[in-house]
């Protein structure tokens, strides 16, 4: 059995604003084992990043607050820790690659200063030793001429190099868990492939668990072992990469996969967009948040959140449509009919 690193149960994080309560995350549960990669997918506003920031206890309070649920790191309840104790967890046990490296890196400090700070804080190293380690980390993530690059500022790095610097900072203390929030966003395809390779190498070297947050289902297919599909702050489907990609059971998952180009179908097969807009997180329905956009909606969908249905071991879905009917519907969807070109 793999070592269980993280267990999140019934996590709910809300933001209390003048306009109302923004229910960003509602009852989300997932686990992460050592050397396992969990991909979290969904549209913008589905709660992916807020769920990750909740694990890190980085939700700004006020207006945000974790109102319910547990976050357990190797048997340790993170919600019970004070801020000083959490500061030791961040970077040391759990590290995060933030979505936009240009805004996450401090523009007035050299790259070496920012990496060395984490090393000095968590590993009790002197400044000279920390700077030497910073150069080694930059070299390890594939930045050429690292001894000189470490003395440069973020604006002197390209987008791909800034992302690599963020990865170097994240792995500086050999964390057990690495959270990567959109690590390939705004990068060209070649750089995306290089970043994916760096993350894979770091995971193999440090035996870390990885939480990958992304819109790119291709990146998920490349890196992830299991997938959590989020919509409107809830988990609508959860399973292994094969279960979710080849045996999806939620209409929202069908929509995500239906909008993804495929090479094994004829050119005449059209992509199917998801009609409508994501829900207002202040005015969420009592039932399924996807109900307003789902073409298979029925009355109970808006009124009551569906119970969790276990499709197979490790594969679950929350949907009111009976399983047999879901399978019939899916079989008729163009995207799931394989046509050899």
Check residue 122 and give its pLDDT.
81
Residues 66-92, mean pLDDT to the nearest whole number: 93
Residues 66 and 105 in one domain: yes
3 is written with which tokens?
């070592």
Residues 127 and 39 in one domain: yes
Q: How far apart are CA 226 and CA 244, in angstroms?
A: 8
**Bond preceding residue 62 cis, omega within 30 of 0:** yes
Residue 294 lies in a domain: yes
Check residue 334 and give its pLDDT.
75
Domains in the chain, number: 2
Residue that is last in its domain, among 190, 224, 258: 224
Write the DSSP assignment of 222-252 as a string of letters: HH-SEEEEEETTEEEEEEEHHHHHHS--SHH
Residues 76-103, mean pLDDT to the nearest whole number: 87
Residue that is last in its domain, among 159, 194, 224: 224
Percent of the chain with pLDDT over 90: 56
Check residue 163 and give its pLDDT.
82
Check residue 12 and give its pLDDT.
97
pTM for this structure? 0.89
114 is written with which tokens?
């920012």
Residues 43 and 74 in one domain: yes
The domain containing residue 281 runs over which residues? 237-336
Pairing type for strands 4-17 and 234-240 reads unpaired
Residue 219 lies in a domain: yes
Residue 231 lies in a domain: no
Check residue 264 and give its pLDDT.
64
- Across the chain, how many H-helices and E-strands are there? 13, 12
What sign does the dihedral 152-153-155-161 (CA atoms) show?
positive
Residues 254 and 298 in one domain: yes
Percent of the chain with pLDDT over 70: 94
Residues 170 and 255 in one domain: no
Q: How far apart are CA 177 and CA 84, in angstroms?
A: 19
Residue 44 lies in a domain: yes
Assign residue 149 a region (left: φ > 0; alpha: ψ between -120 and 50; beta: otherwise).
alpha
How would you class 36 by CB atoms within 10 Å of its CB: exposed for 0-12, middle for 13-18, buried for 19 or more? buried
Task: Answer yes or no: are the C-beta atoms of 318 and 305 closer than 8 Å.
Answer: yes
Residues 135 and 255 in one domain: no
Q: How confident is the model over 171-228, as pLDDT tens digits?
A: 888 889 999 888 877 667 777 777 788 888 888 888 899 999 988 888 888 889 999 9
Residues 89-107, mean pLDDT to the nearest whole number: 84
- Identify the three-state secondary structure at position 54: helix
- Sequence-ordered list of residues with C-beta below 8 angstroms from that of 76, at least 6 positions apart, any chain: none
Strand ranges (E), the chain: 4-17, 20-33, 37-41, 64-73, 76-77, 94-97, 177-181, 209-213, 226-231, 234-240, 308-312, 315-318
Residue 140 lies in a domain: yes
Summary mean pLDDT of the chain: 88
Of the candidates 3, 6, 55, the residue with the CA atom closest to the CA atom of residue 31: 6
Residues 44 and 9 in one domain: yes
Residue 177 lies in a domain: yes
Check residue 32 and give its pLDDT.
96
Check residue 267 and give its pLDDT.
64
Residue 179 lies in a domain: yes
Residues 12 and 119 in one domain: yes
Residues 296 and 257 in one domain: yes
- Sequence-ordered list of residues with C-beta below 8 angstroms from that of 280, at least 6 positions apart, any chain: none
Write the DSSP assignment of 100-156 as a string of letters: -HHHHS-TTS-HHHHHHHHHHHHH---HHHHHHHHHHHHHHTT-SSHHHHTTS-GGG
Task: Using pLDDT thresholds of 50, 70 and 90, give the confidence band for residue 56.
Answer: very high
Residues 79-91, mean pLDDT to the nearest whole number: 91
Task: Using pLDDT thresholds of 50, 70 and 90, give the confidence band for residue 339.
Answer: very low
Residues 84 and 181 in one domain: yes
> In this predicted model, which residue has the larger pLDDT, 55 or 103?
55
Residue that is last in its domain, among 164, 194, 224: 224
> In this predicted model, which residue has the larger pLDDT, 71 or 44?
71
How would you class 200 by CB atoms within 10 Å of its CB: exposed for 0-12, middle for 13-18, buried for 19 or more? middle
Residues 244 and 103 in one domain: no
**CATH code of 89's domain:** 3.40.50.300
- Identify the three-state secondary structure at position 253: helix
Task: Using pLDDT thresholds of 50, 70 and 90, give the confidence band for residue 341.
Answer: very low
Question: Tokens 């094969």 label which residue?
Answer: 242
Angle 125-127-132 from CA coordinates, rounded to 5°: 85
Q: How confident is the model over 230-284, as pLDDT tens digits?
A: 999 999 999 999 999 999 999 999 999 888 776 666 666 677 788 888 899 999 9
Residues 162 and 197 in one domain: yes
Residue 230 lies in a domain: no
- Quickly count: other Cβ atoms within 10 Å of residue 104's Cβ: 18
- Residue 48: φ, ψ to 5°: -60, -55
Q: How confident is the model over 7-51, as pLDDT tens digits?
A: 999 999 999 999 999 999 999 999 999 999 999 999 888 999 999
Check residue 340 and give its pLDDT.
36
DSSP single-letter state for residue 273: P
Residues 117-144, mean pLDDT to the nearest whole number: 87
Check residue 173 and give its pLDDT.
82
């Amino acid at each position: 059995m793999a070592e269980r690193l993280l267990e999140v149960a019934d996590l709910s994080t809300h933001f209390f604003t003048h306009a109302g309560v923004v229910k960003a995350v509602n009852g989300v549960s997932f686990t992460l084992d050592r050397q396992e990669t969990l991909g979290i997918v969904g549209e913008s506003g589905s709660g992916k990043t807020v769920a990750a920031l909740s694990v890190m206890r980085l939700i700004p309070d006020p207006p945000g607050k974790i109102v319910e649920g547990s976050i357990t790191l190797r048997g340790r309840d993170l919600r019970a820790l004070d801020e000083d104790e959490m500061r030791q967890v961040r970077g040391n046990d759990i590290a995060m690659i933030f979505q936009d490296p240009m805004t996450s890196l401090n523009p007035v400090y050299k790259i070496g200063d920012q990496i060395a700070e984490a090393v000095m804080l968590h590993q009790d190293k002197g400044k000279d030793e920390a700077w030497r380690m910073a150069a080694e980390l930059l070299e390890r993530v594939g930045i050429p001429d690292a001894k000189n690059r470490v003395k440069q500022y973020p604006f002197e790095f390209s987008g791909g190099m800034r992302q690599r610097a963020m990865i170097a900072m994240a792995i500086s203390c050999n964390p057990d868990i690495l959270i990567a929030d959109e690590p390939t966003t705004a990068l060209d395809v070649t750089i995306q492939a290089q970043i994916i390779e760096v993350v894979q190498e770091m995971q193999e070297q440090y035996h870390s668990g990885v939480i990958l947050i992304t819109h790119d289902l291709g990146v998920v297919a490349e890196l992830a072992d299991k997938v959590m599909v989020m919509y409107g702050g809830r988990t609508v489907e959860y399973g292994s990469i094969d279960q979710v990609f080849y045996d999806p059971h939620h209409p929202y998952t069908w929509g995500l996969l239906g909008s993804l180009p495929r090479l094994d179908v004829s050119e005449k097969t059209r992509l199917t967009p998801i009609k409508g807009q994501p829900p207002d997180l202040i005015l969420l329905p009592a039932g399924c948040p996807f109900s307003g956009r789902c073409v298979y909606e029925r009355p109970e969908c808006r009124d009551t959140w569906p119970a969790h249905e276990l499709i197979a071991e490790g594969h679950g879905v929350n949907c009111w449509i009976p399983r047999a009917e879901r399978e019939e519907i899916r079989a008729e969807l163009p995207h799931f009919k394989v046509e050899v070109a």
